[in-house]
Amino acid sequence: MKYIDFTNEEINEVMNKAWTAFHQYRKLSLKQRADFMRAIAVEMEACGDELINTAMKETNLPEARLRGERARTIFQLNSYAAACEEGTWLDIRIDTANGGKTPPKPDIRKMLVPLGPVIVFGASNFPFAYSTAGGDTACAFAAGCPVIIKAHPAHAETSETVANAILKAAGKCNMPDGIFAHVHGGSVEVGKALVTHPYTKAVGFTGSFLGGKQLFDWGNQRKEPIPVFSEMGSINPVFLLPEKLQQSSADIAKMYAASITLGVGQFCTNPGLIIGIESGALQNFIATLGEEIKHIVPAAMLHPGISKLFSENKAKALLQQDVTTVAVSETDAKENQGLPTIASSTGQAFLNNPVLHQEVFGPYSIVIRCKDKDEMIEVAKNLEGQLTATLMATENDISNNDEFMEAVKNICGRFILNSVPTGVEVCLSMHHGGPFPASTDSRFTSVGADGIKRFARPICFQNWSNDLLPVELKNQNPSGIWRTINNELTRSSL
Ligand code: NAP
């Protein structure tokens, strides 16, 4: 179905309503927000097979993956609802007055409050979990913010169906009119109008570096700059350390062939760069990885644009000096399918050529052969910010390797040992973000309930009497929220 781009007048109307809704929604209790989020989860489930079929048609993703992703989205809504209600995310600090001090210390209490209407850009590669009712939307609702979705044009109908589920939940929970809106747009002008609207107070995005950085720049160039949380490209380096590689090069290669091609390589955590030190074990690894890749059958990518970009970016990488093709799938790729491909190059070539540092979004990875440990450290030091970095290593490999370890830690948001970066657990300890260009703000995560804090800001109340304070800051603590009172973390009342 073809949807028509919203006009500037329509966007203005949506934003005016969102602004009015903000002043009503922010006053609702944490429980009311949480109940709304749980109601969205129920409505999403109630969309049944029709939603899965629509998403299959629009994204080429297989049924099992989409069912799993919907379950993950429902889990996100429910678990962030629980976190919203539990209230730890409010970061409450209370320092009681001390008249005996000179000068007297006033009563000071701090908590997080919502920013205002949030624009969320649906991600092409996660039609449920990072789109209309996905992680960013759940976090913004939990924080107390209305949400305006910019639907991804590649799955506009899926997005429309989920949007209707959200509106149904909003109606059932008596949410203010304007708490949620769904905006279609196949041109960048729609995104620009949303990000630059004066009533927009924050943005959440997952996608390309070019898109994410553009939104970030628009957000910063406004008369009133706003935070833009863009989660962008990452090549997720994997370092193969010598002792580990010697012990299990074939097993690691098999594990990585599966990770590189999972979901046709269309994950932001796809391992696009593998780095080892020249040795017989590394040659074994490369040979086994190549053999595995040959047997992986190409599959359709999310949309023709992504498939075209994959072919172009891969061709560009393969044309670079000192880059060789190790293996491609033995099955020809049909139209819009991604042909699994492994390339290889030297540490020197990688250090000299920024093209090899760029994301090739799809089933592709390049193995970099360093001449020695020092060159591997240089490669680590010259990497841009990443969502993840992985070590395949024994304890021996890690000990006495401080310079290398510090270099890797310095560039990543999630540091993985002896596993694969694909698969992002939704839990409080997760960090899905990383130094630029992986994301525009490395201090925040887009997965896990800590993501709620992206859409809130601190306010501190000084010298207010108990009865005038917001309920969460009053002496009584009926919901048992964890609060830091006079430097001690406690759930007690005061
Ligand atoms: P995209 O081009 O970044 O688009 C994502 C969303 O942002 C769309 O709604 C798009 O709107 C909007 N957008 C993009 N550029 C914009 C701009 N300059 N101004 C305003 N809005 C803009 O991502 P995609 O279409 O999903 O895929 C394209 C490429 O992005 C992929 O080939 C891949 O390289 C990369 N990607 C990376 C990840 C990751 O997690 N690392 C995930 C998905 C995609 P319009 O369509 O209306 O322009």
Tens-place pLDDT, residues 446-481: 999 999 999 999 999 999 999 999 999 999 999 999
Q: Does the Cβ of 439 fall within 6 Å of ligand 1?
A: no
Q: Which atom of ligand 1 is the closest one to the Cα of 310?
A: 32
Domain residues for the domain of 61 are 8-232+443-488
Among the listed residues 94, 70, 150, 197, the one whose alpha carbon sits nearest the alpha carbon of residue 475: 94
Count of domains observed in the chain? 2
**Does 119 map to a domain?**
yes
Six-digit token string for 95? 């320092």
* Best of 125, 208, 316, 446 for a ligand 1 pocket test (most atoms within 8 Å of beta carbon): 208
Same domain, 364 and 385: yes
Distance 205 CA to ligand 1 centre (A): 9
Burial label, 160 (beta-carbon count in 10 A; 0-12, 13-18, 19+)? middle
Whole-number Å distance between alpha carbons of 91 and 170: 27
Among the listed residues 323, 121, 359, 139, the one whose alpha carbon sits nearest the alpha carbon of residue 235: 359
Same domain, 352 and 319: yes
**Does 70 map to a domain?**
yes
pLDDT score of 119: 98
Distance 191 CA to ligand 1 centre (A): 11
**Does 428 map to a domain?**
no
The residues that bridge with 368 in the sheet, in sequence order, are: 275, 345
What percentage of the chain has pLDDT greater than the value 70?
A: 100
The number of residues in the chain equals 494
**Does 384 map to a domain?**
yes
Which listed residue (43, 69, 85, 231) is catalytic?
231
What CATH code is carried by the domain that includes residue 331?
3.40.309.10
Choose the final residue of a domain: 417, 451, 479: 417
Element (H, E) at 165: helix 156-172
Q: Does the Cβ of 360 fall within 6 Å of ligand 1?
A: no
**Does 435 map to a domain?**
no
Same domain, 29 and 115: yes
The DSSP annotation for 433-493 comes to --TTTTBS-TT--SSSGGGGGGGEEEEEEES--GGGS-GGGSS--TT---EEETTEEE-S-
The average pLDDT across 362-383 equals: 98
Q: Does the Cβ of 211 fall within 6 Å of ligand 1?
A: yes
Q: At what angle do helices 30-46 and 156-172 cross, to 10 degrees?
A: 130
Same domain, 328 and 462: no
- pLDDT bin (cut points 50, 70, 90) of residue 1 is low
- pLDDT bin (cut points 50, 70, 90) of residue 400 is confident
**Does 25 map to a domain?**
yes
Q: Does the Cβ of 153 fall within 6 Å of ligand 1?
A: yes
Whole-number Å distance between alpha carbons of 335 and 301: 9
Instruction: Give, using CA atoms, the residue closest to atom 11 of ligand 1.
Output: 188
Which listed residue (84, 145, 268, 412) is catalytic?
268
Strand, coil or helix: what is 431?
coil
**Does 426 map to a domain?**
no
Burial label, 488 (beta-carbon count in 10 A; 0-12, 13-18, 19+)? exposed
What CATH code is carried by the domain that includes residue 17?
3.40.605.10
Q: Which atom of ligand 1 is the closest one to the Cα of 211?
A: 15
- pLDDT bin (cut points 50, 70, 90) of residue 194 is very high
The average pLDDT across 398-416 equals: 97
Residue indicated by tokens 């000299």:
352
pLDDT score of 187: 87
Q: Does the Cβ of 152 fall within 6 Å of ligand 1?
A: yes
**Does 437 map to a domain?**
no
Choose the final residue of a domain: 417, 433, 455: 417
Same domain, 226 and 335: no
Q: Does the Cβ of 397 fall within 6 Å of ligand 1?
A: no
Same domain, 47 and 109: yes
Distance 236 CA to ligand 1 centre (A): 19
Among the listed residues 177, 183, 143, 144, the one whose alpha carbon sits nearest the alpha carbon of residue 163: 183
Does residue 262 carry a pLDDT above 90?
A: yes
Same domain, 403 and 451: no
Q: Does the Cβ of 233 fall within 6 Å of ligand 1?
A: yes
Whole-number Å distance between alpha carbons of 65 and 266: 12
Same domain, 218 and 169: yes
Same domain, 295 and 351: yes
Same domain, 102 and 34: yes
Same domain, 324 and 452: no
pLDDT score of 186: 85
Residue 231 annotated to the active site: yes
Q: Does the Cβ of 455 fall within 6 Å of ligand 1?
A: no
- pLDDT bin (cut points 50, 70, 90) of residue 239 is very high
Q: Does the Cβ of 306 fall within 6 Å of ligand 1?
A: yes
Go through 358-395 and write b for each residue having 16 or more CB atoms within 10 A of its CB, e for each that does not: bbbbbbbbbbbbbeeeebbbbbbeebbbbbbbbbbbbe
The average pLDDT across 171-181 equals: 98
Choose the final residue of a domain: 383, 417, 451: 417
Same domain, 254 and 110: no
Distance 150 CA to ligand 1 centre (A): 12
Strand, coil or helix: what is 94?
strand
- pLDDT bin (cut points 50, 70, 90) of residue 43 is very high
- pLDDT bin (cut points 50, 70, 90) of residue 188 is very high
Distance 212 CA to ligand 1 centre (A): 7
Instruction: Give, using CA atoms, the residue closest to atom 18 of ligand 1.
Output: 211
Tens digits of residue pLDDT in 416-456: 999 999 999 999 999 999 999 999 999 999 999 999 999 99
Q: Which residues have CB under 8 Å from 71's CB, separation 6+? A: none
Q: Tell me the residue type at 425.
A: E
